[in-house]
Amino acid sequence: MTTTTNNNLWGGRFDGTPSPELTRFSRSDPRYFAMAPYDLLGSRAHVRELHRSGILDANELDRFLESLDAIESDVATGTEQPTPTDEDVHTFLERLLIERMGPDGGKIRAGRSRNDQAANDLRLYMRDKVRTITSQLIMVIDALTLQADQHLETPAPGFTHLQSAQPVVFAHQLLAHAQPLLRNLGRFQDWDHRAAVSPLGAAALAGSTFALHPEISALEMGYRESAENSIDAVGSRDAAIEFLFVCSLTLIDLSRLCEEIISWASQQFGWIRMNDSYCTGSSIMPQKKNPDIAELARGKAGRILGDLMGLMAAVKSLPLAYNRDLAEDKNAIFDAVETLDVTLPALAGLVATFTVNNDELARQAEAGFTLATEVADWLAVRGVPFSEAHDVSGALVRFCESKGFGFDALSDDQLASVDVRLTPDIRAVLTLSAALEARSGFGGTAPARVAEQLQRLRNNLEPIRVWATAPSRSDGVTSDV
């Protein structure tokens, strides 16, 4: 009888054992062994498929399922751990199975390959983690809406080109960060729908002689369906790339929020005061209160973008079907998941606990002639072509700048000296409240409109919140791997 002299899932064709250099280079990253619960889930589905095909009888199926359950328990408690000779998680778990069941444990390898196992493990892992990420991202949105609820009528300066432009309510500015995050939640759900396709049963690339009903296994693992093409099932990684894209876009959107928080908390802006429990200090300057959470999150956006680019580069021009280059997928996905896992709760806490300097916001909301557009609009309502009204408003700004005061200090004669059409009635629109109320169209910054926006956003969050807490499977695998 021919046997191999190592724990690898291959070797019968080879004369001798792998070199130490190959073993070291080929062995999975230690983090990858965290895929054990997902690999075991796939193994349960596979042995049921072997039973359906007649490879396993009912007693053998029961033995396999009992052994797989026991292995999962022992791995979870740390009773069983990988050894240096276990090349990957698949080798590790099959070794345990054979140790417990004897040679019969090797029957599990019939009709499957590490190619479809690896693709399946990663897809199950991502579908599990996407719900955790969604719940944590909802925490950030909840923090933004909590702050917005308190500032539906707080005037603030709105910017373009980082220059004071027009007044807005601060809630509108906060919700401008919540809206893209809500879209990203939708992208995660859309991704999950596309990713709910099982690659198990594709085997190495051509499908399986024994796993003839992978569509049944797919349903058992919580998928919608099985892959249409076995080559595509093991050779593609678009699901991982798309997952990384949404993670990257989420962090990019968060980095813009972080940039604003850093500015708002500065002495120069003075808009917010961060809670001490979400800040750090300086080792040399005692007075410092640093926005480390915002800065760290801003930096991590670039890191995950690098993971996305790295995986796309690894996949580019790869021939079908499976190539070992695809092992880079797990490193990128793990990094994104672990990064979001520490970033999102910290950022949610920072946003939820900062306090707002309403008086300073209101003071700055009117500074820099942010009401100049009101002058042009007021003239346009009275029949003046807007291009001409724009010039008159600009001239009024120049006049005030030359005198060193704002619109509120203008006398009737000074208004008329700039243009006779600037009558005293214009003062009714040259207030923050009037400017805010005037933007009453859908999506505008009028307080009533912003309150409606806030309520719609909260309503839209509820079904996503429910989806995030629903299990992606019914097997008992938890999300805390």
CB 452 within 8 A of CB 441: no
Question: CB-side exposure of 94: number of CA atoms within 13 Å?
Answer: 26
**Rounded Cα–Cα distance for residues 224 and 61 (Å):** 24
Could you tell me where the beta strands, DSSP code E, fall in 307-434?
Answer: 355-356
Identify any residues that bridge with 275 across adjacent strands, giving them in sequence order. Answer: none
**Rounded Cα–Cα distance for residues 371 and 364 (Å):** 12
CA distance to 250, 251, 300, 413, per residue, from 305 (Å): 10, 9, 8, 58
Rg (CA), the chain: 31
For the record, the structure tokens of 429 come out as: 């629109």
**Rounded Cα–Cα distance for residues 432 and 169 (Å):** 10
Which residues are known catalytic residues?
161, 282
One-letter amino acid at 207 equals G
At 399, which helix (H) or strand (E)?
helix 386-403
Q: Nearest 5°: phi and psi at 11? A: 140, -15
CA dihedral 261, 267, 269, 273 (to 10 degrees): 50
CB 214 within 8 A of CB 220: no
3-class secondary structure, 80: coil
> Mind giving me the DSSP string for 319-369?
PSS--GGGGHHHHHHHHHHHHHHHHHHHHHHHHHH-EE-HHHHHHHHHTTT
CA neighbor of 458 nearest in space, from 254, 206, 182: 182
CB 341 within 8 A of CB 351: no
**Rounded Cα–Cα distance for residues 286 and 407 (Å):** 42
Identify any residues that bridge with 164 across adjacent strands, giving them in sequence order. Answer: 159
One-letter amino acid at 205 equals L
